[in-house]
């Protein structure tokens, strides 16, 4: 360990190299997908039976976040993104990620890929935010939609 950039970090202490493990957050896109006037929530194959969330995925090298979120919506749901707008940026500390959340209006026929096992369509008025990760983006989107300021 050594002091670098204002924090204690794992680093080469042998004096023979300059390696420092910066452990920067990984950028992840999240899509609050609106399809046919409803919000699509999906369940990953690894998640418990009643746990649903937004569509998420990692950015590829040299990929713009807007392109990444459109790609993820196509890959995971088979839907084409027709309107993409930024909701906000959210730290997801438990996974060392920075979530870049978008509202995505999509069209097409929902066809789940192998990562997802089921989906639910929720009326925006019935959508409830959760208090971590992508749920913070859901809360901000719902507040903006109703004309309220985020806390």
Give all domains of the chain, ordered by start, each with its CATH number. Answer: 24-145 (3.90.79.10)
pLDDT at 128: 96
pLDDT score of 118 more than 70 = yes
pLDDT score of 108 more than 70 = yes
pLDDT score of 149 more than 80 = no
pLDDT score of 117 more than 80 = yes
Say if residues 34 and 55 touch (Cβ distance below 8 Å). Answer: no
d(CA 111, CA 71) in angstroms, rounded, equals 14
| 3-state SS track over the chain | CEEECCEEECECCCCCCCCECCCCCEEEEEEEEEECCEEEEEEECCCCCCCCECEEEECCCCCCHHHHHHHHHHHHHCCEEEEEEEEEEEEEHHHCEEEEEEEEEEECCCCCCCCEEEEEEECHHHCCCCCCCCHHHHHHHHHHHCCCCCC
pLDDT score of 16 more than 90 = no
Range in 2-6, 47-51, 80-84, 120-124 with the lowest mean pLDDT: 2-6
Residue 35 pLDDT grade (very low, low, confident, very high; cuts 50, 70, 90): very high
Say if residues 142 and 124 touch (Cβ distance below 8 Å). Answer: yes
pLDDT at 15: 66
Predicted model pTM = 0.88
User: What mean pLDDT do residues 33-56 have?
Assistant: 97
User: What mean pLDDT do residues 36-43 have?
Assistant: 98
User: What mean pLDDT do residues 69-80 have?
Assistant: 98
Is the Cα torsion angle 127, 43, 76, 119 positive or negative in sign? negative
């Amino acid at each position: 360990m050594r002091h670098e950039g204002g924090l204690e970090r794992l680093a080469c202490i042998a004096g023979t190299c300059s390696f420092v493990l910066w452990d920067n957050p990984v950028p992840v896109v999240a899509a609050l997908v609106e399809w046919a006037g409803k919000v699509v929530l999906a369940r990953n194959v690894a998640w418990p039976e009643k746990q649903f969330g937004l569509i998420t995925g990692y950015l590829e090298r040299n990929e713009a976040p807007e392109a990444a979120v459109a790609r993820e919506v196509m890959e995971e749901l088979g839907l084409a993104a027709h309107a993409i707008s930024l909701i906000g940026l959210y730290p997801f500390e438990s996974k060392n990620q920075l979530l870049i959340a978008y509202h995505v209006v999509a069209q097409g026929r929902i066809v789940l890929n192998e990562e997802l096992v089921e989906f639910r369509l929720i009326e925006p008025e019935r959508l409830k935010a959760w208090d971590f990760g992508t749920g913070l983006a859901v809360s901000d989107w719902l507040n903006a939609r109703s004309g309220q300021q985020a806390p």
